[in-house]
A and B are shown apart, each in its own frame.
Chain A
Amino acid sequence: GAGVSQTPSNKVTEKGKYVELRCDPISGHTALYWYRQSLGQGPEFLIYFQGTGAADDSGLPNDRFFAVRPEGSVSTLKIQRTERGDSAVYLCASSSILAGVGNEQFFGPGTRLTVL
């Protein structure tokens, strides 16, 4: 597609439930990133994939959060035993390592997660 797409756009769940958020990056982009954005704040890094492997998962807050990218394209962020504090907008971005040293990251529209 022309840009990064994310589904669903909105997700409401109950405390303790499991959720999956999907990201479809720009075609041909080898790098994929997940960020989390709370109201009034800038995005906060969670995890970075280069191809199929997680190159840096230092931003994942705890072991309830996990992400995969099995074929090097679509990625899924998985959150177990959701807590009210997990409520935020989850953003996905992709970039082409070949684009240059700065590696501009292009963001999707986000998934707004609300944990009741």
Chain B
Amino acid sequence: EDQVTQSPEALRLQEGESSSLNCSYTVSGLRGLFWYRQDPGKGPEFLFTLYSAGEEKEKERLKATLTKKESFLHITAPKPEDSATYLCAVQAVRGSARQLTFGSGTQLTVLP
């Protein structure tokens, strides 16, 4: 069974204070690992897809990395508008299956 564990559950940062969010996963075969951002009352917003260990992707203050067991979302010099819940999900190689298995998310608060 695919499993995704995210830590910490909640993180409070001062504006400009860089940090990382962790996503540990177990999956029989990884098709892709996804990061989403979710604001209160809204659906998840797609950020990144990572396909293989060693891959990195960047977008503004965010950088996602992938190993064989975990992924990190690095936030550099965050701003209050980066406050949101960040969700990690995996998609397994399993026949025609395409569903995402999500973690419970990390709730990030960036204080001005």
Decide whether A and B assemble into one complex: yes
Q: Which residues of A contact B (CB under 8 A)?
A: 4, 31, 33, 35, 40-45, 48, 50, 55-56, 59, 91, 93, 95, 101-110
A91 to B3: give the CA distance in the assembly, Å: 20
User: Cβ of B32: which chain A residues have Cβ within 8 Å of it?
Assistant: 101-103
A56 to B97: give the CA distance in the assembly, Å: 7
Q: Please give the distance in Å from A23's CB to the nearest CB on chain B.
A: 11
Does B101 sit within 8 A of A, measured CB to CB? yes
Complex partner residue of A31 from B36, B45, B98, CB under 8 angstroms: B98
A sample of 7 more A-B contacts (CB under 8 A), given A42-B105, A43-B44, is A43-B87, A56-B97, A101-B32, A102-B49, A103-B91, A106-B46, A107-B44
Total A-B Cβ pairs within 8 A: 70
Q: Which of A35, A95, A102 has the most CB of B within 10 A?
A: A102
Q: Which residue of A lies closest to B36 (CB)?
A: A107
Complex partner residue of B98 from A42, A55, A108, CB under 8 angstroms: A55
User: Cβ of A107: which chain B residues have Cβ within 8 Å of it?
Assistant: 36, 43-46
A112 to B105: give the CA distance in the assembly, Å: 19
Known contacts A55-B98, A56-B97, A56-B99; is A105 also within 8 Å of B46 by CB? yes
A105 to B43: give the CA distance in the assembly, Å: 11
The 10 closest A-B pairs by CB, nearest first: A42-B102, A102-B32, A107-B43, A45-B99, A102-B49, A107-B44, A109-B43, A43-B102, A110-B43, A55-B96
Q: Which of A42, A93, A104, A107 has the most CB of B within 10 A?
A: A42
A91 to B36: give the CA distance in the assembly, Å: 14
Q: Which of B32, B91, B97, B100 has the most CB of A within 10 A?
A: B100
- Whether A102 pairs with B91 at a CB distance below 8 angstroms is yes
User: Cβ of A50: which chain B residues have Cβ within 8 Å of it?
Assistant: 96
A108 to B85: give the CA distance in the assembly, Å: 16
